[in-house]
Amino acid sequence: MKRRAKVLLATAAAVAVASATAFFALPAGAETATFTVTNSWNSGYQGQVTVSNESSSAINTWKVELTLPSGTTVGQAWSSSMSVAGNTYTFTPAGWNATIAGGAATSFGFIVNGTGRPTSCLVNGKACTGLGVPTSPSATGSPSATASPSSSPSASRSSSPSATASPSSSPSASRTSSPSASPSVTPSVTQPPAGTTPVAINGQLKVCGTKLCNAQGAAVQLKGMSTHGLQWFPSCYTDSSLDVLANEWNADLFRISMYVQEGGYETNPSGFTSQVNNLVEKATARGLYALIDFHTLTPGDPNYNLERAKTFFREVSAKHASKNNVIYEIANEPNGVSWAQIKSYAEQVIPVIRTNDPDAVVIVGSRGWSSLGVSEGSTSSEIVSNPVNAANIMYAFHFYAASHKDNYRAEVEKAAASIPLFVTEFGSVDYTGGGAVDTASTNTWLDLLDRLKISYANWTFSDASEGSAALKPGTCNAGSFSGTGSLTESGALIRNRIRA
């Protein structure tokens, strides 16, 4: 199954990023804690606390208590559980990060509404010291732009120092990027990136908490399209068609779906690898993010293709290691297999990619055809309680609007509070890829993803004879992709949502 997506920049602060750091030391052999402001805007900032264990024995749990001045509050936090009493915010482990081995550390982050920095700190009940951080964002400097909250979705490709930006908790944001500061005590302001493409504006993506973030640390939402099987529709993915996706659809993302079975990679590994590499280059030339999809479906156990996956990802990650626009999806739709088996596969494939490309975001498929387990009677709790042991990763979720409705949406809303999600495939029709377009359910889904800032790719940018295809039959051979005359009902609906 395949779906499509478009890039929607989340809030970038239009003021400089401050990197004010305070170090709180406890007696020798105990914990230490480091507070850092990682992003700042006129009405708030993003903070991070790193708890370190400088002893030789493991710490079995930890608790950080931060007291903020009146009028300053914490709006959300990640990689921790948070409670509040008055002006004191207590952070405890998320579960997976409770134990800190000797010489190791763990971090959590949070968004603060207001400009006041912490006035006191406790780590495991012991007083912290050295809270020498600025109490006003004026210490960070400010360019001419102003930052203001915004709830209206926009998708401007313009990039200008005078453009306004909204804080990253806003449900939508424009493509306009903000200046940022380098991480030093004396902040310096950099100008917005040159160019107006999604990659020029956002740069190397990374996972921050439960969000996908750009190089400046602002949450982003990518929207775009997925190919169909490369073995069936090669004429759909040409310079002309990608020009239309980039310039008329205003897409941010191009998902390259390479089937492994069904006449795909296993029949000609070098040929399909070359085809994927060529499409990555086409996406790169247009400033689009390229999502490389190792499209496994049957059999459903990704371990069946483990050695093929290692070979493929070793080759493509080496080829594209110097690029900042490549995302890796290592198993499309695991099914009929336990989460433990999927996790084991991921923990063997991810190091292969990391050897060549340590910075790229990697997406791991979930149980039940990447339904977070819902389609097989499970829930996302199995992932939350036993996450993949790797950094900078996200988890895939797939849906087809006519088949997957409220119970699936409820699971996504719940899961998104704990783990980073990426809808790497969705359709406007039923789960077969066919049937009538369910406009109401599709819009409900996309409204939810926009609100949660979850990126997505629509299945499918092809002229297949099925309801999910965006193009009318015969379009690809004709080679005419521009305008709306060649679009199906699904194509017109998704194009409008991406361009909105």
The pLDDT tens digits of the residues spanning 101-125 come to: 887 878 787 888 888 888 888 888 7
- Could you tell me the two tokens for 447? 């409204």
pLDDT for the residue 271: 97
pLDDT for the residue 129: 56
Which tens digit of pLDDT belongs to each residue from 204-252?
999 999 999 999 899 999 999 999 999 999 999 999 999 999 999 999 9
Spell 374-408 as b/e; 16+ CB within 10 A means b: bbbebbbebbbeebbebebbbbbbbbbbbbbeeeb
- pLDDT digit string (tens) for the chain, length 500 residues: 433 333 333 333 333 333 344 444 333 445 777 787 876 666 778 787 888 888 888 888 888 898 999 989 987 777 778 888 899 999 888 766 788 888 787 878 788 888 888 888 888 877 665 454 333 333 333 222 222 223 332 233 333 323 333 323 332 333 333 323 333 222 222 333 456 899 999 999 999 999 999 998 999 999 999 999 999 999 999 999 999 999 999 999 999 999 999 999 999 999 999 999 999 999 999 999 999 999 999 999 999 999 999 999 999 999 999 999 999 999 999 999 999 999 999 999 999 999 999 999 999 999 999 999 999 999 999 999 999 999 999 999 999 999 999 999 999 999 999 999 999 999 999 999 999 999 999 999 999 999 999 999 999 999 999 999 999 999 999 999 999 999 999 999 999 999 98
pTM of the model: 0.65
For residue 126, how many C-alpha atoms fall within 13 Å in the half-sphere facing its CB? 13
499 within 8 A of 4, measured Cβ to Cβ: no
289 within 8 A of 7, measured Cβ to Cβ: yes
Distance in angstroms (rounded) separating the CA atoms of residues 61 and 215 = 32
Find, among 141, 119, 140, the residue nearest to 131 by Cα.
119
pLDDT for the residue 195: 66
82-to-97, 269, 421 alpha-carbon distances in Å: 14, 48, 21
Three-state secondary structure call for residue 268: coil
pLDDT for the residue 486: 96
Which tens digit of pLDDT belongs to each residue from 405-435?
999 999 999 999 999 999 999 999 999 999 9
pLDDT for the residue 46: 77
447 within 8 A of 413, measured Cβ to Cβ: no
Q: What structural domains does the chain harbor?
A: 3-9+216-499 (3.20.20.80), 21-140 (2.60.40.290)
- Could you tell me the two tokens for 52? 């370190």
Which residues touch 315 (CB under 8 Å, ≥6 apart)? 273
Three-state secondary structure call for residue 266: helix
- What dihedral do alpha carbons 42, 419, 205, 166 form, nearest 10°? -20
Burial bucket for residue 8 (CB in 10 Å: 0-12, 13-18, 19+): buried
Q: Residues of the chain with pLDDT > 70: what percent?
A: 79
327 within 8 A of 290, measured Cβ to Cβ: yes
- Could you tell me the two tokens for 317? 């990650």
Burial bucket for residue 440 (CB in 10 Å: 0-12, 13-18, 19+): exposed
Distance in angstroms (rounded) separating the CA atoms of residues 413 and 266 = 37
Find, among 496, 488, 370, 377, the residue nearest to 443 by Cα.
496
Note the Cα 94 to chain centre separation in Å: 20
Between CA 427 and CA 237, with CA 450 as vertex, the angle to 5 degrees is: 45
pLDDT for the residue 140: 33
Find, among 168, 158, 167, 137, the residue nearest to 16 by Cα.
137
User: Which DSSP category does 16 fall into?
Assistant: P
Q: Are strands 64-67 and 81-85 parallel, antiparallel or unpaired?
A: unpaired
Q: Which residues are catalytic?
A: 333, 425
pLDDT for the residue 14: 33
**What are the strands, taking DSSP E only, across 164-235?**
206-208, 211-213, 220-221, 223-226
pLDDT for the residue 41: 67
pLDDT for the residue 139: 32
418 within 8 A of 384, measured Cβ to Cβ: yes
- Could you tell me the two tokens for 137? 């964002």
